[in-house]
Amino acid sequence: MHIGIDLGGTKTEVLLLNTHGQEIFRKRLPTPQGQYAAILQTIQQLVDEAEQHAGQPCSVGIGTPGAISPATGLMKNSNSVVLNGKPLHNALESLLQRPVRLENDANCLALSEATDGAAAGAAVVFGVIVGTGTGAGIVVHGKVLTGANAIAGEWGHNPLPWPEPAELPGKACYCGKHGCIETWLSGTGFQAEYQLATGTTLAAAEIVQLATAGDIIAEQCLQAYEERMAKSLAHVINILDPDVIVLGGGMSNIQRLYTNVPQRWGNYVFSDQVNTRLVAPHFGDSSGVRGAAWLGANHHRLGRNGY
C-alpha cells in the first residue's frame, strides 16, 4: 500500500491507497504555523496512523510547497517560508526510517491526474495550480519531469506574455520581479484586480457570482482573467505542446474557463489547430495527496524502496 502526504500551508493531509488506487484511509491536521519541528512531528503522526490502518509497511510520497535544491539538498521556493533552507527530505527519511519521494505539490497534481484522473493515458500533461499562488508540474509518459534545476513547470514566475501597455511593468511579486503570471492568475491576483476597479474586496467566488448575475465590472474582470490565462497557457503550448492541461486550485472551480480559455488561446498558439485539451481535475482537491501517494508507488516499483 502507498501513503501520500500533502503538506500545505494551512493543513497537512494523509491518504492511504491500495495498488488499485482505492482510498483506504484519510485524515487532515492543521499545519503548525512557522514551526519546522512540529511540521515534521505532524507528518510522522499521520504516517504512523495510516500505516496502522494498512497493517504493513508502506511506501511514502510527500507533496510540498517548494522544491529541493540540487545544489544544497535544502528546500527552496516555498511559500511556507519556514521550510526554506531546511533539510526536509533528509529529515523525513531519518524520521520515517525509509526512502521518501518528495515533489512539489503541482507535480503531485499533474501525476495524480495523469495516472488515473482527467488526463489518464495522455503522453504529456501540464498540471496547473491557480490558487493562493500559481505553479505547475509536468508529467511525461507517467513520470514527473523535475528538471536540472528542480524548477520544471515553474510557470507562475515567468512574465505575462503579450502584455497590454496598461499591464506594464506589472505588479510586484514576492520573488522580487514585476509582472509574474502569478500576480495576475492567482486567486489573490484576481481579487486585487476587482478591488482596483471597484474599491471593494471580495472573494474570487463572489466576483464570479456577480459576473454570472450580470455585473458589468465583475464580468470585465473575469474576461480579462480569461484572456491572461489564454496567453499564459498558449506560451506553454508553444514550448511544451502538451496533450492535456489540467487546472487545480481554487480558481479551477470557475467552470466557464474550460470553454472560454481554449476559445481565446488559438490567437496566440503558433499552429493552425490546437488539439490540447483544458480539463478540470477528476479528483478535485484530492489530486495533490493522491499524486503524493503515486510518487511513493512509483518509487516502490523502481526497486528503490525496501518494503
When the pLDDT of each residue in the chain is averaged and rounded to a whole number, the result is 93
3-24, pLDDT tens digit by residue?
999 998 889 999 999 988 999 9
SS3 assignment, position 256: coil
- Name all domains of the chain by residue range, CATH numbers in brackets: 2-108+286-301 (3.30.420.40), 119-281 (3.30.420.40)
SS3 assignment, position 8: coil
> What is the per-residue pLDDT for 300?
43
Residue 183, exposed/middle/buried by CB under 10 A (0-12, 13-18, 19+)?
buried
* Max avg pLDDT among 6-15, 70-79, 159-168: 159-168
pLDDT at 155 over 50: yes
Higher pLDDT, residue 81 or 95: 95
> What is the per-residue pLDDT for 294?
93
Residue 220 CA to residue 143 CA, distance in Å, equals 39
3-state secondary structure 260-279: HHHHHHCCCCCCCCCCCEEE
Q: How far is CA 195 from its chain centroid?
A: 25
**Prediction pTM value:** 0.89
260-301, pLDDT tens digit by residue?
999 999 999 999 999 999 999 999 888 999 999 999 776 544
pLDDT at 302 over 50: no
SS3 assignment, position 252: helix
Residues paired with residue 159 on neighbouring β-strands, in sequence order: 180
